[in-house]
């Protein structure tokens, strides 16, 4: 279970959110909110990629900042930059060795990335960069997937593959999105972030 305990964050003098406390046990969760309100920041904190100004986030009782939690979390977000000097193929192979997971042949094909594997990450189009980011997030099958606007930049065929992933993925998925997504029958917990914190929708 993902849990936020008194989490707050600020950039310089600006408070982004304060005292966020909630437990998320549901397998599918969507976080909405206005642009710039802090949705991505909240996901980065949940993924252990950004230390909150106060409070903590835990996954199954373990602080997400601990190294033991890293293999349990996968994240795709525009603010998580991929190394541009590597080819898509080299980056996937590096990730495969790092986590001891199988090659993601199914998702490479489903997302239509096969023809772009030799391409340097810095030369990928927005859509292909997004595809690579999504594959890297899910290929080691983490318990928790954190996806920031996952459908942005994707063509219709790849969106269908994404929706299949959202429906069939065995772990928990938390998504920050401003648009409706297809979860194929899953009950989805809807949360909303505003200046007063996180609320049920």
Domains of the chain: 2-200 (3.40.50.300)
153 pLDDT tier (thresholds 50, 70, 90): confident
13 pLDDT tier (thresholds 50, 70, 90): confident
Checking if the pLDDT of 176 tops 80, the result is: yes
Checking if the pLDDT of 180 tops 90, the result is: no
Checking if the pLDDT of 186 tops 80, the result is: no
Mean pLDDT, rounded, for 48-65? 94
94 pLDDT tier (thresholds 50, 70, 90): very high
74-78, 144-148, 182-186: segment of lowest average pLDDT: 182-186
The average confidence (pLDDT) of the chain is 92
Residue with tokens 């996180």: 198
Of 116 and 13, the one with more pLDDT: 116
Mean pLDDT, rounded, for 134-154? 94
Three-class DSSP labels, the chain = CEEEEEEEEEECCEEEEEEEEEEECCCEEEEECCCCCCHHHHHHHHCCCCCCCEEEEEECCEECCCHHHHHHEEEECCCCCCCCCCEHHHHHHHHHHHHCCCCCHHHHHHCCCHHHCCCEHHHCCHHHHHHHHHHHHHCCCCCEEEEECCCCCCCHHHHHHHHHHHHHCCCEEEEECCCCCCCCCCCCEEEEEECCEEEEC
Report percent pLDDT > 70 for the chain. Answer: 100
Instruction: Quote the CA–CA distance of 146 and 176 in Å, as a whole number.
Output: 8
């Amino acid at each position: 279970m993902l849990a936020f305990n008194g989490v707050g964050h600020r950039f310089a003098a600006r408070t982004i959110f304060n005292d966020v406390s909630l437990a998320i046990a549901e397998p599918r969760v969507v976080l909405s909110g206005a642009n710039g309100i802090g949705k991505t920041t909240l996901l980065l904190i949940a993924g252990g990629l950004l230390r909150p100004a106060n409070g903590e986030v835990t996954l199954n009782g373990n602080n997400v900042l601990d190294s033991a939690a890293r293999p349990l979390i996968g994240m795709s977000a525009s603010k998580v930059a991929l190394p541009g000097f590597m080819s898509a193929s080299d980056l996937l192979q590096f990730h495969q060795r790092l986590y001891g997971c199988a090659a993601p042949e199914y998702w490479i094909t489903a997302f239509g990335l096969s023809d772009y594997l030799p391409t340097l990450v810095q030369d990928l189009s927005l859509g292909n960069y997004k595809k690579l980011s999504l594959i890297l997030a899910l290929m080691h099958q983490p318990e928790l997937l954190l996806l920031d606007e996952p459908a942005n930049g994707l063509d219709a065929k790849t969106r269908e593959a994404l929706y299949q992933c959202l429906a069939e993925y065995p772990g928990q998925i938390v998504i920050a999105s401003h648009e409706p997504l297809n979860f194929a029958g899953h009950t989805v917990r809807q949360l909303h972030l505003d200046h007063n914190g996180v609320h049920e929708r």
